[in-house]
Structure 1
Amino acid sequence: MKTLEYILNGLEYELISGSLSKAIAQIQFDSRKVQAGDLFVATTGTHVDGHDFIGKAIENGAVAIVAERDDVAVGDAALVKIDNTAAALGLLAANFYGNPSQNLKVVGVTGTNGKTTIASLLYKLFIGLGYNAGLISTIKYYVGEQEFPSSHTTPDALQIQALMARMVEAGCEYCFMEVSSHAIHQGRIAGVQFQGGVFTNLTHDHLDYHKTFAEYLKAKKKFFDELPATAFALTNADEKNGRVMLQNTKAQTKSYGLRSLADFKCKVLEKHLDGMLLLIDGQEIWTHFSGIFNAYNLMAVYGTAMLLGEQADKVLPLISELRPVAGRFEILRSPDGKYAIVDYAHTPDALKNVLNGISEIRTGNEQVITVVGAGGDRDKTKRPVMAKEAVLQSDKVILTSDNPRTEVPEQIIADMEAGVEAHQRKKVLSIVNRKEAIRTACMMAVCGDIILVAGKGHEDYQEINGVKHHFDDKEVIREIFNQ
C-alpha cells in the first residue's frame, strides 16, 4: 500500500494538517465512491465543486484530502493543498499505480474525426504483428485480448492509470488511445508518458464546451506542445491546422498525406463500395475501406507503425486485412440489393466526408438517402450546418432524433431545418421517431440505392430525458431488410 508522501512525489504541495505517512487504499474524486483508507481529491468540475463534498468523503472513511483550499474541516484526516487539483489528479494516480505509462509505448490520437478508427486499427495491427497491446477508445477498452466497456472517448485520469497498470500487468508493450479535447483541457492525460502523438484534422465540434474554435484548437495543440523530445508527432500534411499543431512541439515531427509533400505518401488508384486500391510507398495494396477520409486514416496507421520501428513489408499485408471499425462506414446489404451505410458522423465535417466517400463510388444511377439527427444538450450551432451538408450530397434526406437527452426532439429537428434552403425543402422529410425514419428510408430505396444512417454508429442506445433506451441502428436496419 502506498503512502500519501509517495503519491505526492514530484508535485508541488503544502501539508496543512495531518501526516504524510498515512497509507492510502485508493484515490477517489467522487465522494460517493470513497471507502475507508482512501484519499479524496477535491476537483472543481464544470458543474460540481468537489470541495462541497469533503465532509461526505470524511464520513465515508477518507484518511487524506487533497484540495485547493486550506480552510476546510477534515478532522483527523491529512489535508494537502495543491493549486490545481484537477491537473494534479493524473499525476497522483500515476504515482499510485506505479507510473505504468513508463513501461508502455503509448500513442495518443487526437483530432475531430478519425480518432476511433486510427486507434482501433493500430491496436488490431500490432496484435497482428504479434505484440501484446492495449486500447483506450470510444467503442471499447482492451487490455490484451480482454475487453471492457467504454464510458468516454478518453476516460478520467484514475481510469486511464488503472487501465494502463492492468496493461503492464498483462504484459502489454503498446497502448493506443484516443485523446479528446475535453481530456486535454481537463488534465485527464497528466501523468501519461507518450511515445507518440497523431493529429487527424480539426473541424467544427465541441463548441458548447470550448466556446470558440480558437479555444478548441488550443486544447488540441496543448497535447503536442507537451510531448517530450523522445516522442514523435505525426500530422496530416493536407490539413491546414496540421502545421499549427507542431509549432511548439519538442517531439520529432513527421507527416502523412495524399496531396501535399509528406513523409508518408499515398495515392488512391481505385475506389469501390467494398474497398480501395492504394499505392503506399510504391506498393499497391487492396484495402477493405471506402472513402478518401479512410485513406487518410490508413496512412496515419501506416506512418505510426513506421515510426514505431516496424517494416513496410510486414505492415502493408496486415493493413490489407484490416476491416472497418464498428459503426464507421459499416456497410449492410439487403437481400434485394439495397445498401445501408452506418456511420458515427455527428459533426458537419464528418458527415461531409462520409457523403463525399459515397459520391466518389456511386454511379449516379442510384439514390443516396440520408437519415441524420443531432444530439441534444450539445453544440447547437452545428445543427443547421449538418442538415445543409446532408442536403447538398443526398437525393433525399430524413431529419430525425439522435440522442435528444433533455431537449425536445422536435426543437432539435427545427434547428436542423433552418439550414435547408427553400428550394431544397421538397427533398427533406422530418420524422421524430428514429426507427420510423430508418424504416421510411428503407421503403423509399430500391435495388442499388444507398441509405446512409448517420450520427450514432456503434452506439446501442438512445438517450432520452436522462434514460438510455436500447437502440442500435444496425439491428433496426437488419430487421427491416429481412422483413
Structure 2
Amino acid sequence: MKQLKDILYKVTINAVAGSTSIDYNALHFDSRQVSKGDVFVAIKGTVVDGHDFIETAIENGATAIVCESLPSALKDSVTYIEVESASQALAFMAANFYENPSENLQLVGVTGTNGKTTIVTLLYQLFKKAGYKVGLLSTVKIMVDNKEYKATHTTPDSLTINKYLKLMNDEGVEFCFMEVSSHGIHQHRTDGLHFQGGIFTNLSHDHLDYHDTFAEYRDVKKVFFDQLPKSAFALVNIDDKNGLVMLQNTQAKKYTYALKTYADYKAQVLENELSGLLLKLNDSELWTKLIGRFNAYNVTAIYGASELLGLEKVEILRLISELESVSGRFQYFISEEKVTAIIDYAHTPDALKNVLETINSIRTNNEELITVVGCGGDRDKTKRPKMGHIASALSTKVIFTSDNPRSEVPETIIEDIEKGVEPQNFKKTMAIVDRRQAIKTACQLANSNDIILIAGKGHETYQEVNGKRTDFDDYKIVEEFLKQLQK
C-alpha cells in the first residue's frame, strides 16, 4: 500500500492535522464513491461545494481529507490537509497516484475556441496511420490506441485524465492528443501533466456564461502556454491577434502558423471545393478531403505539430491526404435528389460564420442554402443574437429551433436569437421549436442541388431538456427525411 505523503508531492499545503504517513486505498472527489481507507478531496465547484460533504466522506470511511478550509471539529482518526487550491491539489495528487503517466508519452494539448476536436482527432488518425500506438482525449471520445471509451467532458477531471494516461502507458502508447478547454485550465484539471507541445487555434465569442469577460477567457487560455516547460513546443495561429499573446510568457519553443501572415508554417488555399482543398503548404502542394478555409488552418496546425513531433515532411503530406473528416465537423452527404446535407458542430458565432462562408464560397448561388440552427440553454446568452444575425445574413432561408434547451424555455431562447436578425432578413426566417420538425421542414423546402446546413450539435446524439437526455442524431434524422422524400 502507498502512503498519503507519497501523493502530496508538489501540492501547496497550508496546514496538516494528523499524520501523512498513513496508508490509503484510493483517491476521490465525490463523497459517494468513498469507501474505507480512501482520501477525499473537497472541491469547490460551480454548483456544489465538496466541503459540505466532508462528514459524509468520513462516514463512508475516508481516513484523510484534503480541503481549502478545515472543519471546526476535527476527528482524531482522520488526517486533515489544508491546501491553497483543492482542485490544483487533486491534479497533482491524481498524477502522483497514477505514477505521473504523462511523463511516459508525448502529450500534446490543443486549446482555442474552434478546431480543437478536429485537430486532436486528425492527429490521432495521422499518427495511427504512421504506425504508432496513439491516445486521444476529446469531446467526442477517448481512445487508448484502438480501444474506445465514452467522453463526458471536453477536458475530463484530473483523476479521469490520469487514469486513461496510465492505461495508455500500460498499452505502450507513444503519443497522446488532448483537447484543453478553458474550463479545464481554470479548474486546474491539466495541472501536474507533462506536455510535449501546445497548439492554439483561435479565440472568439464563447463561454462568457462562465468567464466574466473576453479578456478573462483569453487569459485563462494563456495560462496553459505559460505552464509549458522549456522542452515543449508552442504552436500558435498568428492570423488570430491572440496568438502572439499566448506566446508572451511561455518557456516553450515558439512556432507559428497562418494563412494570411508570414509564419513558420504558411498555407495558401489554391482550390476550395466540396470534394476538398488544394493547399500550398510552405513549399509543397497538398490535396486534402477536408473542406473549407477553417480546415486549411487545421491542416496547417496538424502539419506543423507532426513535424515538431519528428515525422518526416514527405510522410506527413502523404498521410494528411488520406485523412477523413471528423464526425459532426462539416460532415456531409448528397441525397439521390441531389440535396446536400451538412452537419456541423458550429455553436459559436465565429464557427457558424466560418461554415456558412465556406458553403457560400463553394456554391454557385443558383442553389438555396437552408440553415437549421439554435442555441443551448443555460449557456452564454450574449452570443444568441449574434448567431441569429450571422445565420440570417449568410443563408437563403433559416429555421431557428431548439439545441439542448436544458432548463430554459425553448421559445425564449429562439426569441433571443431572433433579436439579431436585421429587418431586411426577417422574411428569410421561421421558428420551429421541435428540432426534428425543423429538420423535416428544411428537407421539404429543399429542391435538387440545394444545401441544408444543420448546425450546433454535430457529433452529439442526444437532446437535453430539463435534465433529461433523449436520443437525437442530426445526421440520422436528416438522412431519414431526405430518403422519405425520394419515395
Q: TM-score range by the shorter chain?
A: over 0.9
The equivalent residue for 2:60 is 60
Q: Which whole-Å CA distance do the structure 2 matches of 1:305 and 1:423 have between them? A: 47
Q: How far off its partner does 1:14 sit?
A: 4.9
Counterpart AA for 1:242: G
The equivalent residue for 1:451 is 452
The equivalent residue for 1:272 is 273
The equivalent residue for 2:8 is 8
Kindly indicate whether the alpha-carbon contact (under 8 Å) linking 2:14 and 2:84 is maintained by their aligned counterparts in 1.
no
Kindly indicate whether the alpha-carbon contact (under 8 Å) linking 1:196 and 1:231 is maintained by their aligned counterparts in 2.
yes
Q: Which whole-Å CA distance do the structure 1 matches of 2:448 and 2:172 have between them? A: 50
Kindly indicate whether the alpha-carbon contact (under 8 Å) linking 2:12 and 2:89 is maintained by their aligned counterparts in 1.
no
The equivalent residue for 2:432 is 431
Q: How far off its partner does 1:281 sit?
A: 2.7
After superposition, the C-alpha distances for 1:316-350 in whole angstroms (9 at most, x for unaligned) are: 11100101100000002111100010000000000
The equivalent residue for 1:389 is 390
The equivalent residue for 1:407 is 408
Q: Which whole-Å CA distance do the structure 2 matches of 1:439 and 1:90 have between them? A: 46
Secondary structure of residue in 2 paired with 1:206:
coil
The equivalent residue for 2:256 is 255
Q: How far off its partner does 1:20 sit?
A: 1.6
Aligned residues: CA RMSD: 1.0
Kindly indicate whether the alpha-carbon contact (under 8 Å) linking 1:55 and 1:74 is maintained by their aligned counterparts in 2.
no
- 1:197-212 pair list within 5 angstroms: 197-212=198-213
Q: Which whole-Å CA distance do the structure 1 matches of 2:137 and 2:235 have between them? A: 19
The equivalent residue for 1:331 is 332
The equivalent residue for 2:110 is 109
Q: How far off its partner does 1:127 sit?
A: 0.8
Secondary structure of residue in 2 paired with 1:207:
coil
Runs (4+) off by over 4 Å: none
After superposition, the C-alpha distances for 1:261-306 in whole angstroms (9 at most, x for unaligned) are: 0101111111111211112232222111111000000111100001
Q: Which TM-score applies when normalising by structure 1?
A: 0.99
Q: How far off its partner does 1:374 sit?
A: 0.1
After superposition, the C-alpha distances for 1:235-263 in whole angstroms (9 at most, x for unaligned) are: 00211111111111111110111110010
The equivalent residue for 2:302 is 301
Q: Which whole-Å CA distance do the structure 2 matches of 1:116 and 1:387 have between them? A: 24
Counterpart AA for 2:56: K
After superposition, the C-alpha distances for 1:156-215 in whole angstroms (9 at most, x for unaligned) are: 111111111111111001110000000001101011011100000000000000010010
Secondary structure of residue in 2 paired with 1:176:
strand
The equivalent residue for 2:81 is 80
Q: Which whole-Å CA distance do the structure 2 matches of 1:358 and 1:419 have between them? A: 21
Q: How far off its partner does 1:15 sit?
A: 5.4
Kindly indicate whether the alpha-carbon contact (under 8 Å) linking 1:109 and 1:178 is maintained by their aligned counterparts in 2.
yes
The equivalent residue for 1:466 is 467
Counterpart AA for 2:60: N
Q: Which whole-Å CA distance do the structure 1 matches of 2:269 and 2:283 have between them? A: 12
Secondary structure of residue in 2 paired with 1:89:
helix
The equivalent residue for 2:482 is 481
Kindly indicate whether the alpha-carbon contact (under 8 Å) linking 1:54 and 1:74 is maintained by their aligned counterparts in 2.
no
The equivalent residue for 2:33 is 33
Secondary structure of residue in 2 paired with 1:209:
coil
Q: How far off its partner does 1:16 sit?
A: 3.0
Counterpart AA for 2:57: A
Q: Which whole-Å CA distance do the structure 1 matches of 2:73 and 2:172 have between them? A: 43
Kindly indicate whether the alpha-carbon contact (under 8 Å) linking 2:144 and 2:173 is maintained by their aligned counterparts in 1.
yes
The equivalent residue for 1:121 is 122
Whether 2:193 is the aligned partner of 1:178: answer no
- 1:136-175 pair list within 5 angstroms: 136-175=137-176
Unpaired runs of at least 5, structure 2: none
Counterpart AA for 2:70: D
Q: Which TM-score applies when normalising by structure 2?
A: 0.98
What is the aligned residue count? Answer: 483
Q: Which whole-Å CA distance do the structure 2 matches of 1:188 and 1:72 have between them? A: 29
Secondary structure of residue in 1 paired with 2:477:
helix
Q: How far off its partner does 1:71 sit?
A: 3.2
